[in-house]
A = this chain, B = another copy of it.
Amino acid sequence: MAEKRPIITLTTDFGEADYFAAAVKGAVYTVNPAVEIVDITHLVPPHDIYAAAFTLMCCYKDFPRMTIHLVVVDPGVGSSRRPILVMTDDYNFIGPDNGVFSYIYQRERVNRVVHLMTEHYFRSPVSSTFHGRDIFAPCAGYVSKLVDWRMMGEEISDPVRFNTPSPAVSDKEIRGSVIHIDRFGNLITNITQTELTPERIQAGARVKVGSHEAARVLTHFAEANKDELFAYFGSAGFLELAVPRKPASRLTEARRGAEVAVIIP
């Protein structure tokens, strides 16, 4: 049996046609040739830190403990925004301090956030436009080699976080929004089982987006009728809207940010 290797995941807005993601990988391997690099996606919409944060949130826990999650969606590259390392018991996260780890701060017990400052662990020289290759990648390589964080920078207490939009709940209604639309055209909302409880589903909750309504919250795709807009809790824990084998996004014409209302009878 071959041995275990440290895993580094990549989430970027580099696209797949340019050399950017490859340069990051080369820079990682130059520091530590023994890592396993796994692409999460390089198709985050350019500069969209909200989309990057959402995508990472949906899958970071599916990786083995000690995985290093590297995120490079960095519209502020070359400004004074800080490169950071976020450490929890189970994972390390590396990327720009622009809020991209907001969901991690919300969901995990964070042991510390480190401002990466030690140039010894950077590529030399550091370009002003490509910190993914010159700072984040080599630092991820060194973290995978178990370099002590105290060598790499200084602890900070004020990392940037954005407000992750949370639904408004009343007795009769839950008001949330579409936070993502996936490849199948399913609409992912920010509503979880904390708001839409099993009791409320049993009471006959209906879900509205624009002028369209999902009359049922199902537990299996297979229960839906042909062309029925229905709701269900998706694999990332959020309420989603779908049509069997068709894009709900086309039927509803909803976009990210669209309002979603759950009516509780």
Which positions in A face B, CB cutoff 8 Å? 1-5, 7, 9, 13-20, 22-23, 25-27, 29-30, 33-34, 36-44, 46-47, 55-56, 58-59, 62-64, 67, 75-80, 127-130, 133-134, 145, 182-184, 219-222, 232, 234-236, 245
Contact yes or no, B78 A222, CB < 8 A = yes
Contact yes or no, B2 A47, CB < 8 A = no
With A41-B17, A64-B33 as contacts: A128 and B22 at CB distance below 8 Å: no
With A23-B62, A40-B22, A78-B220 as contacts: A29 and B7 at CB distance below 8 Å: yes
Contact yes or no, B18 A55, CB < 8 A = yes
Bound together, the chains give a CA A67 to CA B25 distance in angstroms of 12
Contact yes or no, B220 A79, CB < 8 A = yes
Identical subunits present: 3
Bound together, the chains give a CA A22 to CA B79 distance in angstroms of 31
Bound together, the chains give a CA A145 to CA B2 distance in angstroms of 11
Across-interface contacts of A78 in B (CB, < 8 A): 220-222
Q: Which residue, A55, A63, A79, has most C-beta atoms of chain B within 10 A? A: A63
Contact yes or no, B63 A30, CB < 8 A = yes
Contact yes or no, B221 A19, CB < 8 A = no
With A46-B184, A75-B245 as contacts: A128 and B19 at CB distance below 8 Å: no
Across-interface contacts of A18 in B (CB, < 8 A): 41, 55, 182-183
Across-interface contacts of A245 in B (CB, < 8 A): 46-47, 75
Across-interface contacts of A129 in B (CB, < 8 A): 221, 232, 234-235
Bound together, the chains give a CA A207 to CA B246 distance in angstroms of 36
Bound together, the chains give a CA A75 to CA B184 distance in angstroms of 11
Across-interface contacts of A220 in B (CB, < 8 A): 78-79, 128
Bound together, the chains give a CA A65 to CA B39 distance in angstroms of 23
Contact yes or no, A183 B15, CB < 8 A = yes
Contact yes or no, A38 B26, CB < 8 A = yes
26 A-B pairs in the complex with CB atoms less than 8 angstroms apart? A1-B34, A2-B3, A2-B4, A3-B34, A4-B33, A5-B33, A16-B41, A16-B43, A17-B43, A17-B183, A18-B55, A18-B182, A19-B41, A22-B59, A26-B59, A29-B36, A29-B38, A37-B38, A46-B183, A46-B184, A62-B133, A128-B221, A129-B232, A130-B234, A130-B235, A133-B235
